[in-house]
């Protein structure tokens, strides 16, 4: 109840920021090293585009991974109108396709750029059951599996960049509070792949739970390697984005109007991602869950180390099997 009241009132938490804080506000006092490079998926609209805009404004080189290159170029144009010196690189990626993720990583690594910040932001919501080209339920394939493979293929570059620069690398998985709706007995890997008894909201929640479990296990592994890279999950808040619009058909217009008054703006929604990505206050923090620019609590299932390791092992086995099949 206290957290809800704090959210509605926009009260600041221990970080000095709260639900009303914007991405520009939380990065105002960040003295960033020059030549930082951030890679953002889903940077063509909503909080992804706002994250790209604000980081570019703070002098970060931004690589936008996007399915729609036309939209990505429009975002780049708009950012450079505001910040003429901004360096924005646009590369094509379809996160639902393992082959596309592989191509993207090859193209990015060929640029021989450092990689300081990886923001796994892209996400879809689908009311109807759809499948990726690998015949995997589309929401899980896009929101979780694609980002898992992307991170796996770029993690060595991040560790190398951190070692050479002395600057901590940061990975951010954009999750959602809706992850807490998932019950333990409903979270089965093979059902997630097949879309068993499909429900769009449940599939979205399950993918967001998987994003947090990915953070938990990757944080453990990075700590064991003594790598100077952190990984955290963020809940951006309920933001006026395309995903919310996709839900609109499920509720009445009047209820949507009332609910929309409680939604965050895009600039507020991007605040937690930007805060975790560049703030000195998050230095050294890893395996955490942030909401409203403050460390928060995720569900007990999301905190389960055994579930995190089991999901990691199942995911790796699946992806490597599919990649072997594709190359044979």
Task: Cite the active site residues.
Answer: 198
Name the strand (E) or helix (H) holding 110: helix 98-110
Sign of CA dihedral 228, 211, 263, 69: positive
C-beta separation of 10 from 18 below 8 A = yes
C-beta separation of 176 from 235 below 8 A = yes
| Sheet (strand 169-174) strand order | 88-92, 61-66, 37-41, 117-120, 169-174, 229-235, 289-291, 294-295
* Reduced DSSP (H G I as helix, E B as strand, rest coil) percent helix, strand, coil of the chain, to 5: 55, 15, 35
C-beta separation of 89 from 57 below 8 A = no
Kindly compute the dihedral angle of the four CA atoms of residues 326, 206, 50, 271, in this order, to the nearest 10 degrees.
Answer: -140
Residues 6+ apart with CB under 8 A from 282: 170, 230, 232, 275, 276, 290
CA 32 to chain centre: 21
CA 115 to chain centre: 16
């Amino acid at each position: 109840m206290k957290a809800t009241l704090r959210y509605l009132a926009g009260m600041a938490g221990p970080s000095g920021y709260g639900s009303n804080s914007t991405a520009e506000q939380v990065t105002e006092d960040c003295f960033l090293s020059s030549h930082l490079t951030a890679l953002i998926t889903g940077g063509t609209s909503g909080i992804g585009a706002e994250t790209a805009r604000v980081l570019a404004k703070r002098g970060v080189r931004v690589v936008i991974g996007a399915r729609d290159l036309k939209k990505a170029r429009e975002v780049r144009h708009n950012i450079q109108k505001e910040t003429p010196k901004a360096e924005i690189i646009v590369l094509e990626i379809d996160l639902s396709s393992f082959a596309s993720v592989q191509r993207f990583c090859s193209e990015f690594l060929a640029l021989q750029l450092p990689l300081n910040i990886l923001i796994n932001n892209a996400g879809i919501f689908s009311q109807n059951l759809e499948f990726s080209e690998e015949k995997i339920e589309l929401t899980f394939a896009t929101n979780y599996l694609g980002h898992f493979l992307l991170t796996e293929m770029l993690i060595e570059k991040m560790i190398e960049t951190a070692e050479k620069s002395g600057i901590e690398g940061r990975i951010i998985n954009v999750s959602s509070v809706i992850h807490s709706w998932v019950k333990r007995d409903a979270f089965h890997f093979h059902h997630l792949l097949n879309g068993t008894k499909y429900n769009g909201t449940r599939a979205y929640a399950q993918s967001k739970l998987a994003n947090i479990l990915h953070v938990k296990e990757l944080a453990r592994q990075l700590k064991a390697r003594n790598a100077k890279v952190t990984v955290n999950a963020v809940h951006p808040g309920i933001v006026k984005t395309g995903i919310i619009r996709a839900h609109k058909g499920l509720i009445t217009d009047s209820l949507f109007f009332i609910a929309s008054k409680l939604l965050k703006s895009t600039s507020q929604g991007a605040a937690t991602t930007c805060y975790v990505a560049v703030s000195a206050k998050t230095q050294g923090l890893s395996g955490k869950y942030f909401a409203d620019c403050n460390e928060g609590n995720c569900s007990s299932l999301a905190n389960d180390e055994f579930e995190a390791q089991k999901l990691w092992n199942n995911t790796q086995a699946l992806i490597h099997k599919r990649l072997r099949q594709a190359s044979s």
